A and B are shown apart, each in its own frame.
Chain A
Amino acid sequence: MRAMNVIVCVKQIPDPAQPGELDPSDNTLKRAGKLILDESDSYGVEMALQLVGTAGGGEVSLVSMAPDGETAGLRTALAMGAAKAVLVSDPALAGSDALTTAKVLAEASKRLGEVDLIIAGTESSDGYTGTVPEQMAELLGLPSVTFAKHIEVAGDALKVQRQTEAGYDEVTSSLPAVVSVTAGVVEPRYPSFKGIMAAKSKPVDTVTADDLGVDPVGWAGAGQEIVDVADAPEREAGEIIEDEGEAHLKIVEFLDKLKVI
Chain B
Amino acid sequence: MASNIWVFAQGAEGSPTTATQELLTKASSLGESVTAFVAGDAAEFAAGLGEHGATKIYATGDLGGNLPGAAVASAMKAVIDGGDAPDIIMFPQNYEGRDVMARLSVKLDKTVLTNNTEIAVDGDQVKVTTPIFGGTKLVTTTFTGPGPYLVAFRPKSFPIEAAGGSAPEVVEAAVPDLGATGGATVEAVHVEEHSGPKLDEANVVVSGGRGLGEAAKYEMIESLAKALKGAPGASRAIVDAGWVPYSYQVGQTGKVVKPTVYIAAGISGATQHMVGMKGSKNIIAVNKDKEAPIFGVADLGVVGDVHKVLPKLIEALQAR
Residues of A bordering B, CB below 8 Å: 19-20, 22, 27, 97-99, 102, 122-123, 128-135, 137-139, 141-147, 149, 160, 162-174, 177, 182-184, 222-232, 234-235, 237-243, 245, 247-252, 254-255, 258, 260-261
Contacts and interface: CB of A to CB of B under 8 A. Distances in A.
Contacts of A243: 286, 302-305, 308-309
Given A99-B109, A243-B305, A260 B115 contact: no
Contacts of A226: 139-141
Contacts of B317: 252, 255, 261
Contacts of A146: 69, 95, 98-99
B264 to A, nearest CB: 12
A251 B302 contact: yes
Given A99-B110, A222-B111, A238 B228 contact: no
12 contacts: A97-B112, A129-B114, A131-B98, A145-B67, A146-B95, A165-B247, A170-B188, A172-B185, A183-B240, A228-B139, A232-B136, A232-B137
B180 A99 contact: no
B228 A260 contact: yes
Grouping DSSP codes into helix (H, G, I), strand (E, B) and loop, the B interface class, with mixed when no group exceeds half, is: mixed
B58 interface: no
A223 B143 contact: yes
Contacts of B144: 222-225
A243 B285 CA distance: 12
A143 B183 contact: yes
A260 B309 contact: no
B228 A261 contact: yes
B191 interface: yes
Contacts of B312: 248
Given A170-B188, A223-B144, 11 more contacts: A123-B253, A129-B115, A163-B246, A167-B191, A171-B67, A228-B138, A232-B136, A235-B278, A235-B296, A237-B295, A237-B296
Contacts of A165: 94-95, 247
A170 B187 CA distance: 5
Contact of A166 (B103, B133, B142, B247): B247
Nearest to B297: A235
Interface string B220-249: 000000001000000010011110011100
Grouping DSSP codes into helix (H, G, I), strand (E, B) and loop, the A interface class, with mixed when no group exceeds half, is: mixed
B244 to A, nearest CB: 11
A8 B184 CA distance: 19
A224 B301 contact: no
B43 to A, nearest CB: 22
A99 B143 CA distance: 14
A252 B184 contact: no
Contact of B106 (A99, A130, A145): A99
Point out which of A138, A163, A171 has the most chain B C-beta atoms below 10 A from its C-beta: A138
A143 B95 contact: no
Given A137-B181, A167-B192, A240-B298, A229 B290 contact: no
Contacts of B180: 141-143, 174
A223 B146 CA distance: 9
Contacts of A255: 228, 261, 317
A252 to B, nearest CB: 5
Nearest to A139: B106
A162 B96 CA distance: 12
Interface in B86-144: 94-95, 98-99, 101-103, 105-107, 109-115, 127, 131-133, 135-144
Contacts of B192: 166-168
Nearest to B227: A261
Closest 3 CB pairs of A and B: A243-B304, A184-B240, A143-B183
B237 to A, nearest CB: 9
A132 B111 CA distance: 11
B289 to A, nearest CB: 12
B252 interface: yes
B4 interface: no
B98 A130 contact: yes
A131 B97 CA distance: 10
Nearest to A147: B95
Contacts of B186: 162, 169-171
A229 to B, nearest CB: 5
Contacts of A135: 102-103, 105-106
Contacts of A174: 180, 183-184
Contacts of B67: 144-145, 162, 171
Contacts of A251: 284, 286, 300, 302, 309, 313
Nearest to B128: A224
Nearest to A241: B302
B39 interface: no
A184 B304 CA distance: 29
A20 B133 contact: yes
B113 A260 contact: no
Contacts of A141: 179-181
Contacts of A173: 183-185
Given A138-B106, A228-B140, A231-B136, A260 B203 contact: yes
A66 to B, nearest CB: 20
Point out which of A149, A162, A165, A177 has the most chain B C-beta atoms below 10 A from its C-beta: A165
B261 A183 contact: no
A242 B187 contact: no
A241 B247 contact: no
